[in-house]
Amino acid sequence: MPKPAGKISYCTTCKNRLWQLADTLPDNLRRVTEDGNSEIVLVNYNSDDELDTWVRRFQPHIDNGTLRYLHQRTEPHFHASKAKNLAHLAATGDHLVNLDADNYIGDTIPLWRTHWAQDPDLLIHGFSPDKNRPQRSEEEAVRLRPDSGNGTYGRIGLPRGRFLALGGYDEQLLPSAHEDKDLIDRATATGLPTVRRPQPGTAAIRNSHRETMRYSGIALEWWDARNLNKERSAENIRLGKLIANPSRTPLKVLLNFGEETAF
């Protein structure tokens, strides 16, 4: 049976989120295996929760190319943009999809393939509407966008060449918050067409903003980090600075438990 056209790479990062990956990764590996021309790129961003040991049970997936595993062992704190860039730059697919550790691929692959078959030069923004997400406060309830409230906002797929041309995620942003929106906004500003597609069913494991910031190494609330990153992003776009990380230094990793390399 021929492979479907256009390899898709699902790019996942993890810092002490084994408690989530234990649920999401087995199902996501099943989905890419069934598809026949997809992979998951998983970055262990210096986790200390036995993630490295746990992943070894998926050695057959590493051997057959459905899982690429990167272990970054020097950076002490999680930085979303740096970790996501590692995963995307190590990917081998024609289309790169950010897939956070708490997200499930679900039944989305056929629909996304249909979109890219019709227009390969397209950014697809997946999300799961969830207006019933428990709120941390009344302030959060007011500020939360109803179409992005359950942790799936970062489901972003775009052509590999477009991602590279944008310079990836902006590593000058604070470690967490708004990095996904910044990537979408810069891509849109370059003229990349975008479609938004909902995902039915259980699309993600719920997280609090406190959990998101836990390993960032900065003493800021998520909303404060978001506002600062949002201001930087808006100013860059206003000035036409759409390409991030012009002098980025590659990060060293151990690839698939054996090869020392850098991305």
Phi, psi angle pair for 229, to nearest 5°: -65, -35
Q: What confidence score (pLDDT) does residue 206 get? A: 83
Q: Could you read off the pLDDT of 112-139 as tens digits, one per residue?
A: 999 999 999 999 999 887 644 444 443 4
Phi, psi angle pair for 218, to nearest 5°: -120, 150
Our CA angle for 88, 90, 96, nearest 5°, is 35
Q: What confidence score (pLDDT) does residue 228 get? A: 97
Q: How far apart are CA 257 and CA 57, in angstroms?
A: 12
Q: How far apart are CA 108 and CA 114, in angstroms?
A: 10
The separation between the first and the last C-alpha atoms of the chain, rounded to the nearest angstrom, is 33
Instruction: State the maximum Cα–Cα separation within the chain, in Å, rounded to a whole number.
Output: 53
The model's pTM: 0.92
Q: Could you read off the pLDDT of 194-229 as tens digits, one per residue?
A: 999 998 888 999 878 888 899 999 999 999 999 999
With 90 as the cut, is the pLDDT of residue 18 above it? yes
Query: Which domains are assigned to the chain?
Result: 8-262 (3.90.550.10)
Angle between helical axes of 179-189 and 80-90 (0-180°, round to 10) = 60
Mean pLDDT, residues 55-62: 98
CA-nearest of 46, 72, 81, 241 to 172 is 81
Please report which confidence band the pLDDT of residue 1 belongs to, taking 50, 70 and 90 as the band edges.
Answer: low
Task: Give the 3-state secondary structure of residue 197.
Answer: strand
Question: What one-character-per-residue DSSP string does 46-115 give?
Answer: S--SSHHHHHGGGHHHHHHTSEEEEEE-S--S--HHHHHHHHHHH--SSEEEE--TTB--TT-HHHHHHH
CA-nearest of 131, 124, 129 to 203 is 129
Please report which confidence band the pLDDT of residue 150 belongs to, taking 50, 70 and 90 as the band edges.
Answer: low
Distances (CA, A) of 76 to 47, 90, 208: 9, 20, 22
